């Protein structure tokens, strides 16, 4: 997820680590903050894998910056990760939002629709949170207001997203015809 976000933000324009961190914090930080000690090693991993290059520039304000630029290989890698997201990129909301944030970099509307359809399939799978044996329990069956809340919220979320997904998939399909 972190690596995807780094590749995604750098796809548009070269940035230095500190700026990257601010953008990532805005994107997913209020839910799950990114520590600097996680970001810098991640940048190094990507550099080692030759997905990005760094150039030292005098800092505009303070210490010198390391301007990070994606290599051609790095650009291909982002498109690959967007076109073929892992299972958890689809199921985990944080990861999924990161995929969505950069999905426009996948230029083909058909490929974009394919990714949305995978999320759609996942959301359409019947899944509950609590079971009585094999039988999924519905919100109305709980005395517990908090468990009822979980199901209520999950249902509202999933309906909003399903509506958006269906609409967007349809418009990608007609747009590309």
Partner DNA sequence: AGAGAATACATCGAAGTCGAGGTATTGCGG
Partner DNA sequence: CCGCAATACCTCGACTTCGATGTATTCTCT
Closer residue to DNA, CB minimum distance, 65 or 119: 65
Please, what sign has the CA dihedral across residues 56, 62, 63, 65? negative
Token reading at 11: 């796809």
Calpha distance 27→2 (Å, rounded): 11
Collapsed DSSP state (helix, strand, coil) of residue 97: helix
Calpha distance 89→84 (Å, rounded): 9
Query: Minimum distance from CB of 128 to DNA (Å)?
Result: 18
**Which of DNA, its own copies, none binds 147 (CB below 5-8 Å, type-dependent)?**
its own copies
**Which of DNA, its own copies, none binds 128 (CB below 5-8 Å, type-dependent)?**
its own copies
Closer residue to its own copies, CB minimum distance, 63 or 131: 131
Q: Residue numbers of the site for DNA (CB under 7 A)?
A: 1-2, 16-19, 32-38, 40-45, 59-66
Q: Is residue 176 a contact point for its own copies (CB under 8 A)? A: no
Closer residue to its own copies, CB minimum distance, 70 or 99: 99
Token reading at 38: 């996680």
What backbone phi and psi angles, to 5 degrees, belong to 166? -65, -45
* Strands laid side by side in the 52-57 sheet: 15-16, 65-70, 52-57
Binds its own copies by CB under 8 A, chosen from 12, 36, 93, 108: 93
Collapsed DSSP state (helix, strand, coil) of residue 125: coil
Q: Is residue 139 a contact point for its own copies (CB under 8 A)? A: no
Report yes or no: 72 and 51 within 8 Å, Cβ to Cβ: no
Q: Is residue 133 a contact point for its own copies (CB under 8 A)? A: no
User: Can you give the binding site for its own copies, defined by CB under 8 A?
Assistant: 26-27, 30-32, 88, 91-93, 97, 100-101, 103-104, 112, 125, 127-131, 144-147, 149-150, 152-154, 156-157, 160-161, 164-165, 168, 171
């Amino acid at each position: 997820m972190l690596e995807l976000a780094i590749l995604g933000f750098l796809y548009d324009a070269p940035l230095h680590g500190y700026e990257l961190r601010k953008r990532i914090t805005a994107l997913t930080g209020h839910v799950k903050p990114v520590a600097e000690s996680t970001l810098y090693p991640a940048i190094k991993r990507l550099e080692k894998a030759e997905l990005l290059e760094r150039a030292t520039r005098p800092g505009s304000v303070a210490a010198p910056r390391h301007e990070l630029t994606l290599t051609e290989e790095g650009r291909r890698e982002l498109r690959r990760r967007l076109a073929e997201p892992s299972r958890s990129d689809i199921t985990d909301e944080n990861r999924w939002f990161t995929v969505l944030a950069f999905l426009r970099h996948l230029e083909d509307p058909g490929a974009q629709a394919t990714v949305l359809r995978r999320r759609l399939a996942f959301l359409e799978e019947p899944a509950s949170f609590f079971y009585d044996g094999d039988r999924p329990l519905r919100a109305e069956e709980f005395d517990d207001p908090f468990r009822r809340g979980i199901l209520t919220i999950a249902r509202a979320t999933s309906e909003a997203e399903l509506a958006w997904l269906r609409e967007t998939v349809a418009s990608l399909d007609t747009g590309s015809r």
